[in-house]
Structure 1
């Protein structure tokens, strides 16, 4: 806010000139102010003496200090609310809370320690424990036996003659982040075995599966194959280094825009296929997802047979320089497979030709 060039005492003197008989226009012209400013001063300071102005200035100063104190208290209260959920057990935990408050709310060390209830001496304390020998022994044993967990390492250390107790060894073990991550297999719901039946018409049942291969520089890439079980037509062949469930849904939406939507899709239990993203898409589009039993790829044998042809005729035949080269060769094979390649199960004709032939026979 812009500060006025007139002090309260000067304003009080200007207002006194009107009481001495001068007109408002003359007063405003002499002091270079507008009539609106004059009447605003008059409404604020009318009936006041110079001593009253001094008291008002003191009250404003005190009010400013109270506002600042109130803001600091509110900040301390907010800081305490944020740390109420934390379990304050050890001094090390209290030090972490004080650091959190200082950096987040920009409070001083004294106020932060006072709010949490820890002395500044305890806050500044630095541990004098020397764990260099323990760290060396623990690191050496873990490198020799990378599959050992904490208790194996601890008993190994005790057998070597060291007297460190398990609490000290565990503290160093955790500080070095040596914990072995457990691999917990995700529990899958029981799947019902369903025999494969060749559909009688197009877009009645599709099959989906992933393949993987590597480029010349060693980078891995994946291929998503989507086929129509009716005439073994390869509907989509998506190539990329990473294909998520959202990408799978996007490919299915592209096929839907082309007028292709199945009644059901047969897939395995891969993470992309059991994701909520694909299940939500299937629910919205009224498509049944048929899952095969885990570890039974023969229950999805139609797409597995297509994958074998893709592996023998494409992936094993070429060395791909980069991802673009893999996409170009995959697109060429896709066209060859659908339009020209003879298929034994279709009477040695291509999938497109078989579909056209069956359509003509119905007509």
Structure 2
């Protein structure tokens, strides 16, 4: 039984805490009438009617239910406002563009740009569920299937998960739609009973470069700070002169950072005929492939687990690790980049190279680039 409180002079309505509400509900469950509870807590019987639906809940559950009710009220208001905005937008689109064919193009643009389903995009544009510009959708699907087929041919051991994370994460395509296209085109990974011939792109040995900026080699080197944070160093060298064209540190090895670094070299006037890399995800991304196609740069990939196919950059990374990362202790990425800039200058200008008859890369270029 709850402790009865004597009600003195009448005042403003009393506000009960959740602990008091849970206690008076328990009193009612124990058989005490509402009138007695109201007098004991100094409130009216009408104010207790609000708490009758919560009989059987303790203080913690009362707090949870009240929070959920508040959240539900807020979400209901938001849904009402969004519904009003959607209705107004649909009416405006229909008034400004009465032609159904033109609105179907808008729907296709919404599907491609915001990963919306056809029904949702049609609803925004004021179209029925069956309306859709199938030509644009089919053209985009054919392009995606072509990209997936080419990637599978170059990487036969990669499944859908690895291909999507590398190739299709920058495309306006949902994972379920890409998997449906992947299954319809029958691109599932199949283990061959007999080995097949080596692709033509890797059967030839490395051809030496005969001029500057004819061939570049590129790869990432991974190291870590004393705190355990890993970082990535992108190295680009010229195969002809062994010149270190670029040596830049990144906290993450992304395709966007790779393309921005290559663009900075292009702006400075350096652009190769082809670039040799391994089969890393950044070098197989759509952003990198589009950049090389746009600037007419050929791509050459080494065979998986064959480091000798990209031996120039592998040897350079070994030298970089021996002379920098195994020798100095860095506290931040700023120190790493400053040390790389200093070492790159000394490497290109003064460090003798065995493959260049004891000359530095810039000395070799000065003597032999224009004989």
TM-score by length of 1: 0.49
Alignment TM-score, normalising by the size of structure 2: 0.48
Choose 1 or 2 for highest CA Rg: 1
